[in-house]
Chains A and B, each alone.
Chain A
Amino acid sequence: MARTKTAKSGAEIATDMHPDLAFQTFTASKDQLLEFYKQMLLIRRFEERAGQLYGLGLIGGFCHLYIGQEAVAVGLQSAITPGKDSVVTGYRDHGHMLLCGIDPKVVMAELTGRAAGISQGKGGSMHMFSVEHGFFGGHGIVGAQVSLGAGLGFAHKYKGDGGIAIAYFGDGAANQGQVYESLNMAELWKLPVIFVIENNQYAMGTAIARASSEVHLYRRGESFRVPGIQVDGMDVLAVRGASEVAIDYVRSGKGPVIMEMMTYRYRGHSMSDPAKYRSKEEVQDMREHNDPIERAKKALEAMGVGEDVLKTIDKDIRTRVSEAADFAEQSPEPDPNELYTDVLVGSY
């Protein structure tokens, strides 16, 4: 198999991919790259703050941070059409929600389980939704959202609204049976779905090679004729470039596509995971040499963006995140009567 090493990331990216899906790194204007940078930084600062609130006991239970993987969702979601396309993902969902245009305040307030949370405190970190923003969750069951993504794609096609569905899942979820049932149906019915595999190399504590017979996950659709591409998910411009090609392919009615995003999470699988299954050096190496935000920052500096501009951006984002955290801490908890609302449409 043809493999090539990208100079920047050190990640090996396959080159034997579908000819209709040949892509190039996106050439961003200064303003565009600044926007990507801001979005990635917002996610990072939001997640860092969520981690702190968890440490303080303000967020309970399970909390999965997106730190390290920001370029994936930013590169892809910057290329979709808000108000037209749908997004669905697993439990590591905070970043995807922010990129759907959801106010950080109501996301953070959901993490703390408050009535003002986007799902009124009923869902928590893993289970959040906003139909208004085209965000269909936030799913705690590994892989379950993938079939939902196929259904969302079906609905877009059925209604003829021109929208597409983006279904994110991880390298761990890629081994669930229903993923393959969904790939088959999506290709059979030519559904407008992008199956995005965020390959961060570890399914909870299990490295990909311990649990996957084929680790090149972009090939997982081959037996269903679903084409796949592999992308350097630590490079927001590579992701954006690949996403444009994939979106065009899917939106034109040719059927679904798999995008395997090679990425990495810096934190444990969840807040309770000390991540002893990998070396500190491995994480440090990724942070130092391959951080998506640092890479964008360097590119911005090369474009002549001054340090003062970047500092102002960071300050503004910290302020937004602090406001979100204050809001999430001060909002009241839901009324106990809410326990029985929305079980079914009617009461019983």
Chain B
Amino acid sequence: MPRMNMIEAINSALNVALAQSPDVTILGEDVGYFGGVFRATAGLQKRHGKTRVFDTPITECGIIGVAVGMAAYGLRPVPEIQFADYIYPALDQLVSEAARLRYRSAGEFPMPITVRSPFGGGIFGGQTHSQSPEGVFTHVAGLKTVIPSNPYDAKGLLLAAIADNDPVIFFEPKRIYNGPFDGHYDTPTVPWAKVDDATAEVPEGHYTVPLGKARVVREGGDVTLLAYGTMVHVAGTAVAESGVDGEIIDLRTLIPLDIETIKASVKKTGRCVIVHEATRTGGFGAELSALVQERCFYHLEAPVQRVTGFDTPYPHSLEWAYFPGPVRIKRALDAVMKD
């Protein structure tokens, strides 16, 4: 089985999707000739032609607007927004058009558009290259939100998203493109090729990882940790270092959410810690916390804990003070285990 990093896995997924259906197109800033700033689309224009993989001007609102129109006429566009921090001009098109066309046309318009965008911090990007805006999108009815945490899932989930007839926001945790991140910023990244884990093995051809299915990354009996993207790995470090028998669940898709897997786990452990990098207030962790409380209240042994980014813009020089690393996760684990 070939080993791929997340960029190669995403590139492979796009290559497979382009080969499978003439309706699939890829558009975005620098995605064609240049192959993408993170190289996710490298070689695709050469292989599939300029009419299917093409550069756009720097115009995020326009990119998404055009993609919505393409999708309304039956194409299956996969636009890239170069950094999630650049997505806000496109919010109008995503919220008012992509998310709503199907509903207001009583199902006449499917909206098979998959918006790929690198997100998250840990790369010293400062406030305009580090954000985790997933909560903005999970709040909008009519959008799906997908966040992979490893190469195998990245390819499988992306192929599932492209095949899906609803609009999908596909956030790629750029900190772990090349290798998983244990949360300790001073240790060098181990490349995916050297990671001893099946998730770094990626089949060449077509396969999908279904949307709406979480993955139990580590089974445990003491406490359930809910995470996605980069934070799945950071949570793993915290569990290993704390000695707590944590059950780590990688949500993989936020909407639709695999509430059954979460429920089964929390009912078993009686404790829950939610980890995300995004700001705390109104973040997706708040929704998860509410759901766990609603569905598992009588099984809870301790209040649900959230470990998140602080409610500040993403700082430049205090990145590692902001980043919810293993130390803060361990503190939350201690807190829930005390009760």
A residues at B contact (CB < 8 Å): 60-62, 91, 113-114, 117, 121-127, 139-143, 172-173, 175-178, 203-207, 210-212, 273, 276-277, 333-334, 336, 338-340, 343
A176 lies within 8 A of B89 (CB): yes
A343 lies within 8 A of B29 (CB): no
A141 lies within 8 A of B85 (CB): yes
A205 lies within 8 A of B316 (CB): no
B127 lies within 8 A of A173 (CB): no
Q: Which residue of B123, B128, B317, B322 is within 8 Å of A140 (Cβ)?
A: B128
Indicate if B191 sits at the interface (CB-CB under 8 A): no
Indicate if B55 sits at the interface (CB-CB under 8 A): yes
A339 lies within 8 A of B322 (CB): yes
Q: B30-38, B217-225, B295-303, B329-337: which one contacts chain A?
A: B30-38
Given contacts A204-B30, A205-B33, A340-B310, contact A61 B59 (CB under 8 A): no
Main secondary structure of the interface of A (DSSP, over half): loop
A126 lies within 8 A of B128 (CB): yes
Given contacts A61-B124, A336-B321, contact A140 B85 (CB under 8 A): yes
Main secondary structure of the interface of B (DSSP, over half): loop
B57 lies within 8 A of A334 (CB): no
Q: Give the CA-CA distance A116 to B274 in the complex, in Å.
A: 36
Indicate if B126 sits at the interface (CB-CB under 8 A): yes
Find the residue from B33, B37, B128, B316 having the highest chain A CB count within 10 A.
Answer: B316
**What A residues does B29 contact at CB under 8 A?**
203-204, 206
8 nearest A-B pairs in the assembled complex, by CB-CB distance: A113-B317, A140-B128, A61-B124, A175-B57, A60-B124, A205-B34, A124-B316, A121-B317
Seed contacts A61-B124, A62-B124, A114-B317; 14 additional CB < 8 Å A-B pairs:
A62-B129, A117-B317, A122-B317, A123-B126, A125-B126, A140-B127, A140-B128, A176-B58, A205-B30, A205-B33, A207-B33, A211-B56, A333-B317, A339-B315
B316 lies within 8 A of A339 (CB): no
Given contacts A61-B129, A177-B89, A205-B33, contact A210 B318 (CB under 8 A): no
**What B residues does A277 contact at CB under 8 A?**
33-34
Q: What is the distance, in angstroms, from B302's C-beta to the closest C-beta of chain A? A: 27
Q: What is the distance, in angstroms, from A322's C-beta to the closest C-beta of chain B? A: 22
**What B residues does A127 contact at CB under 8 A?**
126-128, 316
CB within 8 Å of A: which of B304-332?
A: 310-313, 315-318, 321-322
B318 lies within 8 A of A336 (CB): yes
Interface size on B, residues (CB 8 A): 35
**What B residues does A173 contact at CB under 8 A?**
58
A122 lies within 8 A of B315 (CB): yes
A177 lies within 8 A of B61 (CB): yes
Q: Give the CA-CA distance A273 to B32 in the complex, in Å.
A: 16
**What A residues does B129 contact at CB under 8 A?**
61-62, 140
Q: Give the CA-CA distance A62 to B124 in the complex, in Å.
A: 7
**What A residues does B315 contact at CB under 8 A?**
122, 339
Can you list 9 A-B contacts with CB-CB less than 8 angstroms, sorted by A residue number? A142-B86, A176-B59, A204-B37, A206-B29, A206-B34, A211-B55, A333-B317, A339-B315, A339-B322
Number of A-B contacts (CB under 8 A): 113
Q: What is the distance, in angstroms, from B102's C-beta to the closest C-beta of chain A? A: 25
Q: Give the CA-CA distance A113 to B60 in the complex, in Å.
A: 29
**What A residues does B56 contact at CB under 8 A?**
211
**What A residues does B313 contact at CB under 8 A?**
343
Q: Give the CA-CA distance A211 to B60 in the complex, in Å.
A: 13
**What A residues does B22 contact at CB under 8 A?**
none
Given contacts A175-B57, A212-B57, contact A61 B318 (CB under 8 A): no
**What B residues does A62 contact at CB under 8 A?**
124-126, 129
B58 lies within 8 A of A143 (CB): yes
Indicate if B62 sits at the interface (CB-CB under 8 A): yes
Q: Give the CA-CA distance A333 to B316 in the complex, in Å.
A: 11
Given contacts A339-B312, A339-B315, A343-B312, contact A126 B126 (CB under 8 A): yes
**What A residues does B125 contact at CB under 8 A?**
61-62
CB within 8 Å of A: which of B1-55?
A: 29-30, 32-34, 37, 55
Q: Which residue of B58, B123, B312 is within 8 Å of A203 (Cβ)?
A: B58
Given contacts A205-B34, A339-B310, contact A175 B58 (CB under 8 A): yes
**What A residues does B34 contact at CB under 8 A?**
204-206, 276-277
Given contacts A61-B123, A123-B126, A140-B128, contact A211 B57 (CB under 8 A): yes
**What A residues does B128 contact at CB under 8 A?**
91, 126-127, 139-141
Residue of B nearest to A117 (CB): B317
**What B residues does A143 contact at CB under 8 A?**
58
B58 lies within 8 A of A124 (CB): no
**What A residues does B89 contact at CB under 8 A?**
176-178
Q: Which residue of A117, A142, A207, A336 is within 8 Å of B58 (Cβ)?
A: A142
Q: Give the CA-CA distance A183 to B259 in the complex, in Å.
A: 49
Q: What is the distance, in angstroms, from B197's C-beta to the closest C-beta of chain A? A: 27
Residue of A nearest to B60 (CB): A176
B33 lies within 8 A of A206 (CB): yes
CB 8 Å contact bits of B113-131 with A (1 = contact, 0 = none): 0000000000111111100
**What B residues does A210 contact at CB under 8 A?**
32-33, 55
A334 lies within 8 A of B312 (CB): no
